[in-house]
Amino acid sequence: MIGKIFKNGILAAAAFAALASTAQAGGYSRGEADTDILFESGDFIFRAGATYVSPRRAFKTTGGTANHDGVYSNDYWIPSVAAKIGISENFACALTYTQPFGADATYGPQARAAMVGLGKYSDKGFETNEYGATCDVKFDVGPGKIHFLGGVFLQDFTYDATNEGGLLPAGKFHLRDDGAFGYRIGAAYEITEYALRVSLMYRSEVKHEADEGYYDFTTLPIPTRSATGYGTLPQSLKLSVQTGVAPGWLVYGSVKWTDWSVLDTLNYTITGLGANKDVYNWKDGWTLQAGVAHVFNEKLTGTVNLTWDSGVSTGADIHGDTITLGAGILAKVGPGDLRFGGGITRMSSGSQSIAKGATFDATGGGGWAYGVTGSYKISF
């Protein structure tokens, strides 16, 4: 039977989907919590890994003239840790950690010269950490099992920027929210004999209230000012499907909707300097993926996939469509499973304008992004 080819967790296509991606999802999406570990065989499973992404975004023009600043989007790492505990034959829970959202940019002199508004920012970025617990209860239904999943997570938020001057004197800007709660719920149906699984997972939005902020003036003898801010990071819904199609072969795919339109602005107030905001005005994003995996032998499995992500920009930045080709392998190494993959992403060109909320007029000529990822799993 097809299912025997995939026994003992040799092939976990849902995990491969993330493995062979360069994390070039729309907006500021980065990692996903590894809740797929709940579907893997074993009462005690631990998996840890990381993904390295080099986005390579650059401006073609800024302020109407050719830009020679080079790449402004910084490389980054996405950690992922997951541990499954089987409590009974039909009930298990997983503890997970990842960084679901983030951004990191360093702007050159030509981009800073074109900026209007309060500051001439040399760098801006934010980071989130998600600590989650998700449980799965399953029942026999027909030839397979139905799963009901649910859990909560704590997500923090940190935002930093460096202003080199402008209407606001030069300084360091910092906002932090130690954590806000969200939840995820889902359902799945699987028939192990055919390596068939259909799952639907919802992740809630998170509203952040950053009340541990400050603006520290770096060139003037002015006391540090306190700052506060708020914004919402999006909810999402993901449908995933996988099935065996022949001995040793499996196909998989997914469709994900992310409510990026909820992030129209990041609002903040610096004491004594009034209320301000970073404008995004994004539209909702869609991510579609399709792939195929093959078991070569008992110790080696491989996969390739193609991912398309819709751009979310409406003119306040140059976040356009992306297409990613990814590949990965799973190998039995030592007492566990080693997963390694990589991908290359083509980014479309785009444009932004002050009239649509940007801090400067610019165009982006498209480009390439690269990523590699790896993880190791041990089962007890």
Mean local confidence (pLDDT), 339-347? 92
Residues 234-257: tens digit of each pLDDT: 999 999 999 999 988 999 999 999
Q: How far apart are alpha carbons 176 and 230 in whole angstroms?
A: 10
Q: How far apart are alpha carbons 188 and 39 in whole angstroms?
A: 10
Name the strand (E) or helix (H) holding 324.
Answer: strand 322-333
- For residue 150, the cross-strand partners are 135, 185
Report how far Cα 339 is from the mean position of its chain's Cα atoms.
19
pLDDT at 24: 55
**Domains parsed from the chain with CATH numbers:** 2-379 (2.40.160.60)
pLDDT at 5: 44
pLDDT at 286: 95
Tokens 């099935």 -> residue = 243
CA-based nearest residue to 188, from 177, 201, 170, 171: 201
Residues 284-342: tens digit of each pLDDT: 999 999 999 999 998 999 999 999 999 899 999 988 899 999 999 999 999 999 999 99
Provide the whole-model pTM. Answer: 0.94
Q: How far apart are alpha carbons 259 and 41 in whole angstroms?
A: 33
Mean local confidence (pLDDT), 135-161? 97
CA-based nearest residue to 227, from 180, 274, 264: 274
CA-based nearest residue to 148, from 220, 197, 199: 199
Residue 2 has pLDDT above 50, yes or no: no
Tally helices (H) and strands (E) across the chain: 3, 23
Residues 172-220: tens digit of each pLDDT: 999 999 999 999 999 999 999 899 999 999 999 999 999 989 999 999 9
pLDDT at 16: 54
Q: For all residues of the chain together, what is the average pLDDT?
A: 91
Q: How far apart are alpha carbons 35 and 149 in whole angstroms?
A: 9
Q: How far apart are alpha carbons 264 and 256 in whole angstroms?
A: 20
The vertex-121 CA angle with 118 and 122, nearest 5°, equals: 165
Residue 221 has pLDDT above 60, yes or no: yes
Mean local confidence (pLDDT), 353-362? 93
